[in-house]
Structure 1
Amino acid sequence: MKKGFAGLIAGLMMTAALPAIANESVTAGANDPTQWTMQLSNYAGTSYSELDEITKDNVGDLQVAWSFSTGVLRGHEGSPLVIDDVMYVHTPFPNNVYALDLKNDGRILWRYNPEQNPDVIGVMCCDTVNRGLAFADGTIFLSQADTTLVALDAKTGEVKWTAVNGDPTKGETATATPLIVRDKIFVGISGGEYGVRGHMTAYNIADGSMAWRAYSTGPDEDMLVDPENTTVLGKPIGADSSLNSWEGDQWQIGGGTTWGWTTYDPELDLIYYGTGNPSTWNPSQRPGDNKWSMTIMARNPETGMAKWFYQKTPHDEWDYDGVNENILVDQEIDGQMRKLLVNFDRNGFAYTLDRETGELLVAEKFDPAVNWATHVEMDPTSDQYGRPQVVAEYSTEQNGEDVNSTGICPAALGSKDQQPAAFSPKTGLFYVPTNHVCMDYEPFRVSYAAGQPYVGATLSMFPAPDSHGGMGNFIAWDATTGEMKWSLPEQFSVWSGALATAGDVVFYGTLEGYLKAVDSETGEELYKFKTPSGIIGNVFTYEREGKQYLGVLSGVGGWAGIGLAAGLTNANDGLGAVGGYAALSDYTALGGQLTVFTLPDQS
């Protein structure tokens, strides 16, 4: 087994070469593939492991090593962390945390059971999920549903400090995992369906005091934008870029929440994250581009100042939140090695950008069913440069309020939601869990009231027509050319995070509850195992006493499984997902379990 990185592997931004500006404890954990110390395995967000005991030749022999019940019956996203023979397991609301002793049959060393007002459940739009814990400097960090950021002593579970990041009575909640760089921890906010004004906030990890906050919308000083030195597609952003794109003071309830993933390039010293949908979902009520919702943001972690922005879906009409992970790799394009950022957006386009400058290099559909736009304009001389070219038939604004626009692909939950993709430096490919779902969308006029839903649209969802009849695919993608290499159809959306490994195997989970292993080159299915509940968690791996282990949380829920998770039956409930995924109840039921696999001992 590999005990550390053997060297720099082409295509992967290796944490072994990181300069000292990154947090040393985070870097050390990411350098050690025997542990799993970050949700996406490293700062680059590649969800890749150097462990190679489990290969495409022996993965079919995997057996369940042990399991653990979390005691909570809602959607289980994210993954546990593994640090120094201790596994840290989180749950959905009420956001319990368990520390399990891997040297003693998973004995519970400590548990953290927070007391939260259950009213917060009512303002969590798409299940009570939490995407996992963060670790640095002997401390476990949890962002609770009620927006309380908690620092726990990793050895004892004792609360070191707490910081309140938002106000649930206004619809502000928390679902994302934080990221730590140096002495700061970064955490976003959820609540775009309640008119929440999105922001990214940095807290000092020593005491929980706020270091800076950057809003997604509003005046330049609130957004930490320098009009001359922040760029958009290589040009200065200009003064009051956000204010000029909203009518009146709508930016104050404009959405752009930050509930997705954050990644970091230590060499460029930039963090990357995305902003969500503008509020309301009725586009006629908010004319303009609604900047900077639906945007990839690159910022300095020390000051929060913005380096560059790229808005993927100006004036969003479909709820195509732009919060998905930004994966950082170094690959060759047109004969030149580039520092790339790769993003598989809800809107159905896969974007490849230069992560230093924000230059747009590739933008192609990663699901052929996508029809709301023909393409993204790639001519830098065009006034439409970087903008998707919208098809009038599928424009919910052009069709008007109280008009049901039919057959829009993808549905609001996107061609891919937050479930993270993986990248293998051995193949140079990205492995992407996707949705293959379309929708009918009818906007209606809605008034804002703090803490009340601010949606303004009725949706219904269904499988994309003229295809395999299922609602998902697991695909391999070349981000340098914008080409799909292979695609595996699934009956339901693939809502788990993927894992790529040096053993030439890629893992993912299905909504029915299967953990699957496929050949990283060909996509051939090599193994599957039915866990007790649907999988929306992220697959992870670690090594202990020379053996490689593989684990995943199962517990159906999330947006796709909200009908099961919350007991909803009306087809239009769950923002349209309940009807689309009604058949899921024929295949799985609620649960909350960690299942860990390994190869049998050789006799």
Structure 2
Amino acid sequence: MRMMKTTLLAGVSALGIALAGAAQAAGVTDADLLNDGANTKQVVTNGMGLQAHRFSPLKQINTSNVKDLVPAWSFSFGGEKQRGQEAQALVHDGVLYVTGSYSRLYAMDAKTGEKLWEFDARLPEGIMPCCDVINRGPALYGDKVFFGTLDAQIYALNAKTGKVAWHKAIDDFKAGYSYSAAPLIVPTKANGALVITGVSGGEFGVVGRVEARNVDTGELVWSRPVLEGLTGTYQGKETTMTGKTNETWPGDMYKTGGGAPWLGGTYDPETKLIFMGTGNPAPWNSWLRPGDNRWTSSRVAINPENGEFVWGFQTTPHDGWDFDGVNEFIPFDAKVNGKAMKLGATADRNGFFYVLDRTNGKFLHAMPFVNKINWAKGIDKNGRPEYNDDNRPGDPSKSADGKEGKSVFAVPSFLGGKNQMPVSYDDQTHLFYVPSNEWGMDIHNEPVVYKKGAAYLGAGFNIKPVFDDHIGSLKAIDPIAQKVVWEYKNKAPLWGGVLSTAGGLVFTGTPEGYLMAFDAKNGAILWKFNVGTGIVAPPITWEQDGTQMIGVAAGWGGAVPLWGGEVAKTFKGINQGGSYWTFKLASHTAGQ
């Protein structure tokens, strides 16, 4: 698809800004951010709360009446730019904000779906997104709405008009950088509210880092590289080094070592820490970079006041399978052996579900949440994998021709036990609802040399299912008892996020096009509706004029059809789309 050349001010179609019945967005405050998980009339954070539980106290829609859900309205993103739609929407003062593929942002009347304005970032030629032309959503603060673009830019727009307030380059897209995550807004004492971003591009040998910008100007406040041996900045001056040079990296490889924190993060107001996950080390060929390669494939805790590391926990040291550690780290509280603890959990791409002490990163326990894992025997008492050495792809330099190392079949595949699709933590059942996939891959290593802007893999692969009847698996996991309480098996891979509610419901979507509602306690299917294209986005819920609404972006795409090997061939007939759907109870349609 042809890309338009970059312009300083991208196009805004401000159609019907003063549409009757649409309340214009008032400013989002620190209190709004901090209270988002409890305020049913808004959704102003990605995750429906800074801790990203994706749980709503709304219960107008419940296990008894969810069967009566009907469409309220549907909005088309328009044009030929269909592809994957992975965005979570935001809702404030009667306006719904959602991003679409190819770095577009829409504002619409949350009650009727009528468009207020549209912003198109007009991407340049030559962008290099790894995993489709997706965007995972905007952020709101004050009178602005923020989002990132595939050419590694960040924009702040006026929330009422869609006009550009400021925009900054995160990095050079020609070097392989891009940006697809929803920005995170974090209140601080020293610098006010900050826009927190990571970077994408680990497959191109970029340097992973987390950065904070002033919400009003876009000026950089601090920057923290996640690779050891690199130095952070604060207010334009160098500060501390991340780790120690060459402690776990050979030579200069850390300078192109990947670790991109491409999925965004969470913030815990209790510990006042940002939690970010970091991506795979580069290149994939692990024989070229002996050592643990910190802090790739890890979870890190960062002080938002100054960008300093507080702790780090590496889920896959010396990663040789592309097991990015970017998956969201969710704060929650629970008792362990009778002791109340501040914990955090993450369903890692490597197939294990981890629980840590979120105050210091100390490992508590881990359990496999997908089947037939064979790259590791398990996780030891310190949280370190017990590797199956014969299931690491072979060293190509030891092969007869020096071009291709021994191939192995590894489970899970590099697309992970869980990937970008966010989990939900239910504040009532105290269960995590995890959209997972049961698949493996043939993988081998190849020689590779870093070249700016070129793929930096050193591997070949083909993804295959491990069961005949399903790949996708929605699992309800007890994080303390370390067990799967219930499971729903889906023929196609699950790639959409999860929402749980006080009405005893769990919502998620499927590539086959169904938005589904399950009983949170036992996994019984209570309702489903087909939107005509695959769902790879997380649903939300909010209260609109006394009516509970359910909303989700629809549009098949993302990494599965691009990277899925035999799996992608199996589901190549799924229709693409590009729309936003909302639902409410049939009893609330009269007079609406």
1:585 to 552, 556, 572: 572
Counting aligned pairs with the same residue, the percent is 36
Shift of 1:223: 8.6
Partner residue of 2:487?
487
* Structure 1 counterpart of 2:58, one-letter code: L
Confirm or deny that 1:424 pairs with 2:387.
no
Please give the root-mean-square deviation of Cα atoms over the aligned residues, in Å.
Answer: 1.8
Deviations 1:21-75 (A, max 9, x none): x933422444411222112100111011111011111111111111011123111
**Structure 2 CA distance, aligned partners of 1:549 and 1:80?**
12
* Structure 2 counterpart of 1:541, one-letter code: T
Confirm or deny that 1:396 pairs with 2:417.
no
**Structure 2 CA distance, aligned partners of 1:199 and 1:42?**
24
2:329 to 321, 326, 329: 326
Number of residue pairs aligned between Structure 1 and Structure 2: 544
Larger mean Cα displacement after TM superposition, 485-494 or 342-351? 485-494
Q: Secondary structure at the match of 2:247?
A: helix
Partner residue of 2:298?
295
Confirm or deny that 1:437 pairs with 2:439.
yes
Partner residue of 1:144?
149
Deviations 1:101-140 (A, max 9, x none): 235x3222222122220321xx111111111001111210
Deviations 1:388-420 (A, max 9, x none): 001123112469662343321000001000110
Q: Secondary structure at the match of 1:551?
A: strand
Asked whether the 8 Å contact 1:446–1:454 carries over to 2, the reply is: yes
Shift of 1:296: 0.5
Asked whether the 8 Å contact 2:394–2:407 carries over to 1, the reply is: no
**Structure 1 CA distance, aligned partners of 2:558 and 2:462?**
17
**Structure 2 CA distance, aligned partners of 1:477 and 1:107?**
39
- Measured at CA, do residues 398 and 333 of structure 1 come closer, stay the same or move farther in structure 2, by a change above 3 Å? farther
Asked whether the 8 Å contact 2:550–2:583 carries over to 1, the reply is: yes
**Structure 2 CA distance, aligned partners of 1:373 and 1:69?**
45
1:58 to 42, 61, 65: 65
Deviations 1:348-388 (A, max 9, x none): 0100001001111111111122121111111xxxxxx3210
**Structure 2 CA distance, aligned partners of 1:330 and 1:138?**
33
- Measured at CA, do residues 452 and 389 of structure 1 come closer, stay the same or move farther in structure 2, by a change above 3 Å? same
Deviations 1:417-454 (A, max 9, x none): 01100011111100000011101001100111100111
**Structure 2 CA distance, aligned partners of 1:328 and 1:29?**
15
Asked whether the 8 Å contact 1:216–1:223 carries over to 2, the reply is: no
Confirm or deny that 1:79 pairs with 2:76.
no
**Structure 2 CA distance, aligned partners of 1:191 and 1:57?**
46
Deviations 1:452-496 (A, max 9, x none): 1111111011111xx453111000001112211111111111110
Q: Secondary structure at the match of 2:560?
A: coil
Asked whether the 8 Å contact 1:49–1:501 carries over to 2, the reply is: yes
**Structure 2 CA distance, aligned partners of 1:341 and 1:468?**
34
**Structure 2 CA distance, aligned partners of 1:371 and 1:481?**
23
Q: Which runs of 5+ in 2 are unaligned?
A: 1-28, 188-192, 235-239
Asked whether the 8 Å contact 1:257–1:277 carries over to 2, the reply is: yes
2:116 to 109, 112, 135: 109
Shift of 1:157: 1.2
Shift of 1:280: 0.4
Asked whether the 8 Å contact 2:43–2:92 carries over to 1, the reply is: yes
* Structure 2 counterpart of 1:89, one-letter code: V
Asked whether the 8 Å contact 1:411–1:461 carries over to 2, the reply is: yes
> Runs of 4 or more off by more than 3 Å in structure 1?
28-31, 220-224, 238-242, 397-401
Asked whether the 8 Å contact 2:225–2:232 carries over to 1, the reply is: yes
Shift of 1:240: 4.2
Partner residue of 2:133?
128
Larger mean Cα displacement after TM superposition, 479-488 or 43-52? 479-488
Asked whether the 8 Å contact 1:348–1:415 carries over to 2, the reply is: yes
**Structure 2 CA distance, aligned partners of 1:102 and 1:269?**
32
Deviations 1:500-557 (A, max 9, x none): 0000000001111111110000001111111121110111111112111111111111
Partner residue of 2:31?
24
- Measured at CA, do residues 214 and 553 of structure 1 come closer, stay the same or move farther in structure 2, by a change above 3 Å? same
* Structure 2 counterpart of 1:84, one-letter code: D
Partner residue of 1:271?
274
Asked whether the 8 Å contact 1:217–1:242 carries over to 2, the reply is: no
* Structure 2 counterpart of 1:394, one-letter code: N
Asked whether the 8 Å contact 1:217–1:223 carries over to 2, the reply is: no
Q: Could you tell me the TM-score, scaled by structure 2's length?
A: 0.89
Shift of 1:585: 2.3
**Structure 2 CA distance, aligned partners of 1:73 and 1:277?**
28
* Structure 1 counterpart of 2:84, one-letter code: G
Partner residue of 1:386?
383
Asked whether the 8 Å contact 1:370–1:409 carries over to 2, the reply is: yes
2:104 to 96, 99, 108: 96
Asked whether the 8 Å contact 1:283–1:397 carries over to 2, the reply is: no
Deviations 1:201-232 (A, max 9, x none): 100112100001100113263399xxxxx9xx
Q: Secondary structure at the match of 1:222?
A: strand
Asked whether the 8 Å contact 1:34–1:51 carries over to 2, the reply is: no
Asked whether the 8 Å contact 2:35–2:49 carries over to 1, the reply is: no
Confirm or deny that 1:199 pairs with 2:182.
no
Asked whether the 8 Å contact 1:404–1:440 carries over to 2, the reply is: no
Partner residue of 2:15?
none
Partner residue of 1:41?
48
**Structure 1 CA distance, aligned partners of 2:412 and 2:244?**
29
- Measured at CA, do residues 108 and 316 of structure 1 come closer, stay the same or move farther in structure 2, by a change above 3 Å? same
2:162 to 153, 157, 160: 157
1:218 to 228, 235, 239: 228
Asked whether the 8 Å contact 1:392–1:398 carries over to 2, the reply is: no
Asked whether the 8 Å contact 2:514–2:529 carries over to 1, the reply is: yes
Partner residue of 1:377?
380
Q: Secondary structure at the match of 1:393?
A: helix
Confirm or deny that 1:185 pairs with 2:195.
yes
Q: Which runs of 5+ in 1 are unaligned?
A: 1-21, 225-229, 231-237, 379-384, 563-573
Deviations 1:305-361 (A, max 9, x none): 111000110000100000001111111111111111100000001000010011111
Asked whether the 8 Å contact 2:514–2:531 carries over to 1, the reply is: yes
Q: Secondary structure at the match of 2:195?
A: strand
* Structure 2 counterpart of 1:203, one-letter code: R
- Measured at CA, do residues 535 and 83 of structure 1 come closer, stay the same or move farther in structure 2, by a change above 3 Å? same
Shift of 1:194: 0.3
